Structures are given as C-alpha cells and as structure tokens.
Amino acid sequence: MTISEGSTVSEPTKKTVSTRCYEESVDPSPEKVIMIDEKTTKTKSEDRPNVFIRLLRKVYRPLGFTKAYNFVLFIILAGAMLGFTLARLSYLDVGSGKKSSYSGGTLPGQWYWYKTGYYRVGITMHLAAILPAGFLMVWQFVPFIRRNYVLFHRINGTVIILLVFVGNVGALMIARRAFGGGLDTQSAVGLSVILVTVSIGMGYYNIKRLQIEQHRAWMLRAMVYLGIIITTRLIMALSAVIISKINTYYTTYSCDELAYFYPNREDLLTRYPACNVTDHATVKANMGAGGAETVAAAFHLSFGAALWISLLLHVIGVEIYLNLTPKETERLRKVSYKRQLEAGHKHPGSSGITVDRWGDSEPWVYRE
C-alpha cells in the first residue's frame, strides 16, 4: 500500500501502519528474548565481585584506597621501598666493623675508600639521611593518613625533603668511589640527584600554590626516582652473574686498593706481579675466580650500566602511570580550583605550574 503526498489516512489504515511499525521495531521472537536474558544474567554475574575482590576491599578501603590497582601498586612500590629501607637500617652503624654494619656488610673493597676523610663524611651523610627518608616516605602515600592527619603529612613531608637533600649531597660526595666510581656511575648519580631535586622542588612549589594534582605528580616522580637503587641492585646482581659466565671482562685497581685485599705484600705481588713495576693492576671480573677483588670487580663493572637502565625504567614507568590516571588528575584539579578560588588566587585551577599557563595547551575550564 502506498500513500501519496498530501492524501488523508483513514483511522483503520493508521492502526495498521502503526501496528506494522511496532512489529518491525520490536521482534518478540523467542531467540531474541533468550539472548536478552543471557546478557542480563551475564551482566549481573560480572557486577558481583568474587571472594578475593571482596576480601581485598576489606583491606585497602580502610587505608583510603578506592581502586584495587592503586593498592596493588602501592604494595609493590612502597613495599619494596619499606622492605629495602628496613633491611638496610643496620647500616646506620657505619663503621663499627660488625657484620650488620655498613663497613662489615658492604661490597668487598668499598670500605677502603670510605673508612676515613672526605668519603667517610659523604657515606655517613648519605646513609644517615636517606634511610630515614625512605622509611618516612612510604606513609606519605597512604590516603587515610593524608586525609585524616594533614598536619602529620605536612611535617613528615618537610622532614623528608630535608633528609633527601642531605642524602643527595652525600651521594654526590661518594660518587667518585661508589662501586668503582666510573664516569658512567658518576653521571648516573648526578642525573638522579638532579631529577629528584627538581621533582621535589616542583612538588613543593605546586602545593604552596594549592595545585594538588601537580603536587601529586611531581612527588610520585621523586619517590619513583629515589627507588632506582632497589632496581639497580637487582640488575647489578644479574649482570655480575652474566659477565662472570662470559669470563672475558677485566677492570683495573690501584695497587694500594689491592693491598686492602692482600695485607701480606708477598701474596699481593704473587697474585698481581704488575704491582712490582706500576701502581695499577688488571683484575678479572669473575665472581668465581677465587678472590674477593674479582667479586668486587664484577659488581663494579655492572653498577654503572645497571644504574642507567634502572633510571630509564623508572622514568618511563612513572610517566606511564601518570598518563593512565587522567581521571584522578582531573578530580584533583577540581579540588585545586575550589581551594584556589577560596584563597583568592588570580587563576583558580591553574595557579601552579600547569601546561595551560606555561605551555600552548587550551585554557582549563572547570566542569561539574
């Protein structure tokens, strides 16, 4: 049936057309009803968390976490930092010679450089500052503490900043002798100190400007950069094993340093005859070569490369995380907007260092 333009449709025709349209739009076939029921059932089952998720929520929600992945990342990163720090707290006893002290537990030969003078001051400053900072840092990232104990968060943060700066000075002082002190090691230590210092400075400035989302981002960067020593230790150990298996890597030691391993000069000259004619000798980097100096050499050759690889991994990792959490960034920026507005800032929402004020991004606009 066709209806010409402008013609009048009778009542029975109207009912027929509307009935046909309804039948075409809603197909009451059993197959479709069954498919709809299956989807509904599947959705309900998917929305119901399993036993593990329910138990996990009972753990992380009292701590203030709202997302499971945030809690898991906190356990991995903060747990690694806390575990490493607690395992090294005995190093606050720098030079007693006990097995638990730094002088008794560090890599063979390291104490030769650190036992007196300038380097002793540097290692003492570094350990005395960075170990407490690592322990205190973990609690800054617990949401329950951050929201309910604001004064503690602020005081603790200030103490951490001061300790990290002191620890960084100590790190720069000992970089020339840290695990061989090659240029690769010195440059990596220098860059790490720059990254940590800049990140803390940016985080501190932004929180003073009530730019909370930028404070979060920069302080996360600082913590992740400080954690490179943990990854470095793992990569260094693996690398030392690999180059020991290859058995073709060598490094040089001063004869005075080798004398630390061989107090008896005859033993030294037997092992390293080059010390008869020069002040340096070649040492094989192999943990199974039979001497403490060869073990140290394997780690010395590995440390600089491990430090650079760890630094790259941590820089990439924290940027990936920040780019995967835009909703949290936007939520905190709205909080920043409200607080800056209450404080009478000229550019609420963008009072700190933000891309819309310092770069070529479109101006940020508050939206409910």
Please answer whether residues 330 and 141 qualify as being in contact, where contact means their C-beta atoms are separated by less than 8 angstroms: no
Decide: residue 254, CB within 10 A, 0-12 exposed, 13-18 middle, 19+ buried: middle
**Angle subtended at Cα 315 by Cα 163 and Cα 167, rounded to the nearest 5 degrees:** 15
pLDDT at 262 over 90: yes
**pLDDT for res 20:** 45
Helix, strand, or coil (residue 252):
strand
| C-alpha span between 56 and 59 (Å, rounded) | 5
**Where do the structural domains in the chain lie, given as residue ranges?**
53-157, 240-301
Can you tell me which residue has the tokens 């404070």? Answer: 215
As a whole number, the mean pLDDT across the chain is 87
pLDDT at 6 over 50: no
| C-alpha span between 170 and 162 (Å, rounded) | 13
| C-alpha span between 205 and 212 (Å, rounded) | 10
CA 8, 14, 16, 20 dihedral sign is positive
Least confident of 31-35, 182-186, 205-209: 31-35
Please answer whether residues 75 and 226 qualify as being in contact, where contact means their C-beta atoms are separated by less than 8 angstroms: no
Least confident of 190-194, 217-221, 281-285, 289-293: 289-293
- pTM score over 0.85: no
- Which tens digits make up the pLDDT trace of 137-148? 999 999 999 999
**pLDDT for res 15:** 45
* Residue of 277, 257, 122, 244 whose CA lies nearest to 193: 122
- Which tens digits make up the pLDDT trace of 43-76? 544 567 778 788 888 888 888 888 888 888 889 9
Pick left, alpha or beta for residue 339 (phi over 0 → left; psi -120 to 50 → alpha; otherwise beta): alpha
Give the H or E element holding residue 253.
Answer: strand 250-254
* Residue of 287, 292, 228, 290 whose CA lies nearest to 260: 292
The model's confidence at residue 191, banded by pLDDT at 50, 70 and 90, is very high
250: which DSSP letter?
Answer: E
- Which tens digits make up the pLDDT trace of 63-117? 888 888 888 888 999 999 999 999 999 999 999 989 999 999 999 889 999 999 9
| C-alpha span between 345 and 56 (Å, rounded) | 41
Can you tell me which residue has the tokens 């930028």? Answer: 214
pLDDT at 240 over 70: yes
Query: How close are the terminal C-alpha atoms of the chain, in Å?
Result: 52
**Angle subtended at Cα 187 by Cα 183 and Cα 189, rounded to the nearest 5 degrees:** 120
pLDDT at 24 over 70: no
**pLDDT for res 60:** 86
The model's confidence at residue 1, banded by pLDDT at 50, 70 and 90, is very low
| C-alpha span between 243 and 297 (Å, rounded) | 10
